[in-house]
Amino acid sequence: MVKTSPSPLMVAIEAAAARLAEDPAGAGQAAAAILARAPEDPRALLIAASSRRRLGDPRGALAILRPLAARFPGAAHTQYELGASLADLGEGAAAAAALRRATALNRDLAEAWRALGDLLFAQGEARGADAAFAEHARSLITDPALRPAAEAVYAGRLGEAESMLRGQVNRRPNDVAPLQMLASVFNRQGRHADAEVLLARCLELEPGDDGVRYRLAEALFQQQKAAPAIAHVERLLETTPKDPAYRNLLAACLGLIGDDVRLGTIYEGLLADYPDQPKVWLNYAHALRAVGRRDEAIAAFRRCIALDPDMGDAYWGLANLKVAVFSAADVAAMAAALARPNLAADDRLHLCYALGKALEDAGDDAGAFDRYAAGARLRRAEGGYDADETTGRMRRSKALFTREFFEARREAGSGSTAPIFIVGLPRAGSTLIEQILASHSDVEGTMELPDIGLIARRLGMDYPEALAGLDAAAMGALGEDYLATTAVHRKLGRPKFIDKMPNNFQHIGLIRLILPNARVIDARRHPMASGFSAFKQHFAQGQSFSYDLTDLGRYYRDYVELMEHFDAVLPGRIHRVIYEDMVDDTEAEVRRLLDYCGLPFEAACLRFYENNRAVRTVSSEQVRRPIFREGLDQWRRFEDQLAPLKAALGPSLGGWRDR
């Protein structure tokens, strides 16, 4: 077969099309020259229209596109340009219709999916926008070898996709596309550290790829690595300062380090640009709650619900204020939403917990527990917790961390006296202790910091045994590393600061080795009270043991057994605060607490509720009030339903104050 050369007209059209992205004016001029010879050529007309839109003349583009679309209703690119031009003119409904036609005609038209996602986001249609952005990501995969994996990812078959992509990565270790797709799978599976490794490699290979940089920042944020995430997002914003995704991620990162002024400014700017976007209102509401602007937070959550009545996270945000804010109409609306079979899984999860809180406030204990249990089942189905693994790690820690082990390493670690760790079970009074200490002029409250856990993870799969192989210099370096990475949270210049990550009780041995002069406070509460309070709480991340009553009881027993061990091998090094004692005799307990921390008594610590610092845990509103007793025995209303917890607690329930 004889190959024919393309016609001069086709060569000119292809050349004009190639110039559109970088030189729309030049492309328009080239299209005009073509149209002078072939006035009805649809390809040249489309280039001319696209040129006008890109140069800020959407009305001029529409003058060409409307008759062109009428002539060629099955042309996907024409529908895309029509939709993009209509969007530029603020004709949202017509624009969405045209963009949907474009994607229906050509599912792989990436730019149409991106334009549709941006339009729906601006219109406040969060779920539609997310779906469009997911299709955009899928359509960018043009490599035939990767398309099956892309389809599997889009369909939610993550295990299948991972298997296919691992094979591609092994064959193409320096190819960004399979590495990036595998990282996407890891992120969807919650394996953010694994995703970070792959995305960092992608950025080494393609340092100018903004998509990779953004996804790396997301993976870092998910691990609460705020400082490096912020550096990446700020670099992205240098070239695209108005991008809503970049701005929203930056605000979330700033929340991790407590930069509330800048965070608020970003959300206010986003709301000015996207006043009908419920997710922005949701994030703004959470930020307002953290800084104690309760009435404004309630209004923002309400605005979110008005824009998206099924937004379960907004109802849960109201519930997390821990005050009765739900009306009968709210209860009816939540129940109606939960009755819909097509409700998104994340909304269902949050609505279960929110409705449970509303029913508990209304005195419907049976209904409340049913909703809490339904939410817990949904969360537990996501997997990720192994009670036997927790018990095994506790026993390995006891075997390693003997008195002789610590004695042999008494000269190791950083000499800093700055850190104060508050450990224990969540919902056991740690936020109250933090608020009391943070009201002292020498102490700064921060938040639940991930840094100790990240150090433990860096030590590898054989942690904690790996600590036995570290020399004094290495342990000192780890202590200094902790102080360096947590410095971003210290803004007041005070000599001491608080890290209240409750799960750090599992790492007391590590803390003692790398920061031997740190104070450790064990926040303890009646195991049934703290267990029930944790069970009915949906945590944003972590605490996966809390979604099953038997797991909760076992976790408490492991915690108590490990704390008893450290009391024996490190006598006097851990200070225990019983929540009930703090309620009964606040001043005496506060004085004991300050003495342990080496701090003089200050009356402000008794007026902790006057401290206007930001509080990002679910107890934020409770610690802005004087100590109250009404929640102490709330669990007794649910004692029958909590039988599995009581059974799992076993002997640890008896004499719990002394254990």
Q: Is residue 360, in this structure, part of any structural domain at all?
A: no
| Residue 15 identity (one-letter amino acid) | A
Is residue 208 assigned to a domain? no
Q: Please state, rounded to an integer, the average pLDDT across all residues of the chain.
A: 91
Asked if residue 354 has pLDDT above 70, the reply is yes
Cβ atoms of 273 and 285 closer than 8 Å: no
Q: Which tokens go with 556?
A: 């408490």
Burial of 399-424, coded b for 16+ CB within 10 Å and e otherwise, reads eebeeebbeebeebbbebebbbbbbb
615 lies in some domain: yes
How many residues are recorded in the chain?
Answer: 659
- The DSSP secondary-structure symbol of 338 reads H
- How far apart CA 659 and CA 655 sit, in angstroms, is 7
Banded pLDDT at 19 (limits 50, 70, 90): confident
Average pLDDT over residues 301-308: 94
Note the pLDDT of residue 629: 61
Q: Is residue 154 in some structural domain? A: no
Phi-psi region for residue 496, left (φ > 0), alpha (ψ -120 to 50) or beta?
beta
Q: What residue has token string 């005195």? A: 363
Instruction: Tell me the three-class secondary structure of 429-452, residue by residue.
Output: CHHHHHHHHHCCCCEEEEECCCHH
Per residue in 523-575, pLDDT (tens digit) is 999 999 999 999 999 887 778 999 999 999 999 999 999 999 999 999 999 99
pTM here is 0.80
State what percent of residues in the chain have pLDDT above 90. 68
Find the domain containing 25 and state its range: 8-145
Residue-wise DSSP of 591-622: HHHHHHTT----GGGGGGGG------STTTTG
Write the pLDDT tens digit of every residue in 84-113: 999 999 999 999 999 999 999 999 899 999
How many distinct structural domains can be found in the chain? 2
Q: Which of 3-12, 41-50, 279-288, 357-366 has the lowest mean pLDDT?
A: 3-12
Which residue in 124, 120, 537 sits closest to 309, CA to CA?
Answer: 124
For residue 174, being part of any structural domain is answered with no
Confidence grade of residue 320 (pLDDT, cut at 50, 70, 90): confident
Is the omega angle on the peptide bond into residue 309 within 30 degrees of 0, that is, cis?
no
Q: Count other Cβ atoms within 10 Å, centred on residue 105.
A: 17
User: What are 119's two structure tokens?
Assistant: 């339009």
Supply the CATH number for residue 117's domain: 1.25.40.10
Q: Is residue 280 part of a domain?
A: no
Do 577 and 586 meet the contact criterion of CB atoms below 8 Å apart? no
Residue 622, pLDDT score:
58
3-state secondary structure of 523: strand
C-alpha of 609 from chain center = 28
Please report which residue ranges of 492-578 form alpha helices under DSSP H: 508-514, 527-535, 549-569
Q: How far apart are the first and last CA of the chain?
A: 89
Alpha carbons within 13 angstroms on the beta-carbon side of residue 563 total 28
Residue type, 392: G
Instruction: Write out the DSSP string of 279-323.
Output: HHHHHHHHHHHHTT-HHHHHHHHHHHHHH-TT-HHHHHHHHTT-S
Q: Are 297 and 288 in contact (CB under 8 A)?
A: yes
Q: Which of 120, 145, 170 is the last residue of a domain?
A: 145
Query: What pLDDT shows up at residue 1?
Result: 46
552 lies in some domain: no
In the Cβ-directed half-sphere of 175, how many Cα atoms lie within 13 Å?
A: 16
pLDDT, residue 618, reads: 52
Return the half-sphere exposure (C-beta side, CA atoms, 13 A cut-off) of residue 433.
37
Residue with tokens 């939709």: 83
Listing DSSP states for 209-256 in one string gives -HHHHHHHHHHHHHTT-HHHHHHHHHHHHHH-TT-HHHHHHHHHHHHH
Helix, strand or coil, per DSSP, at residue 555: helix
CA separation for the pair 377, 463 (Å, rounded): 31
Sheet holding 496-499, edge to edge: 443-447, 496-499, 419-424, 519-524, 574-578
160, pLDDT greater than 60: yes
pLDDT of residue 27: 87
CATH number, domain of 528, equals 3.40.50.300
d(CA 312, CA 271): 20
pLDDT digits (tens, 9 = 90+) for 631-644: 678 899 999 999 99
Helix H or strand E segment including 521: strand 519-524
Alpha-carbon distance 330 to 656, whole Å?
Answer: 39
- Determine how many CB atoms are found less than 10 A away from the CB of residue 286: 21
Q: In whole angstroms, how far apart are CA 180 and each of 136, 150, 285, 358?
A: 15, 11, 33, 43
Average pLDDT over residues 583-600: 95
Of the candidates 397, 382, 371, 642, the residue with the CA atom closest to the CA atom of residue 529:
642
Spatial neighbors of 284 by CB under 8 A, at least 6 apart, are 264, 267, 268, 270, 271, 300
Cα 591 to Cα 596: distance, rounded to the nearest angstrom: 9
Residue 590 has pLDDT above 90, yes or no: yes
Averaged pLDDT, 513-519: 97
The pLDDT-based confidence of 203 (bands split at 50, 70, 90) is very high
The pLDDT value recorded for residue 370 is 97
Is residue 362 one of the residues assigned to a domain?
no
% of the chain surpassing 70 pLDDT? 96
Could you report the per-residue pLDDT of 443-493, keeping only the tens digit for each?
A: 999 988 999 999 999 998 899 999 999 999 999 999 999 999 999 889 899
Give the C-alpha separation, 287 to 446, whole Å.
Answer: 15
Tokens of 52: 């006008």
> What is the DSSP code (8-state) at residue 573?
S
Supply the pLDDT for residue 570: 95
**At 570, which amino acid appears?**
L
Nearest to 97 by CA among 72, 124, 115, 121: 115
Q: Give Cβ neighbours of residue 73 (< 8 Å, ≥ 6 apart).
A: none
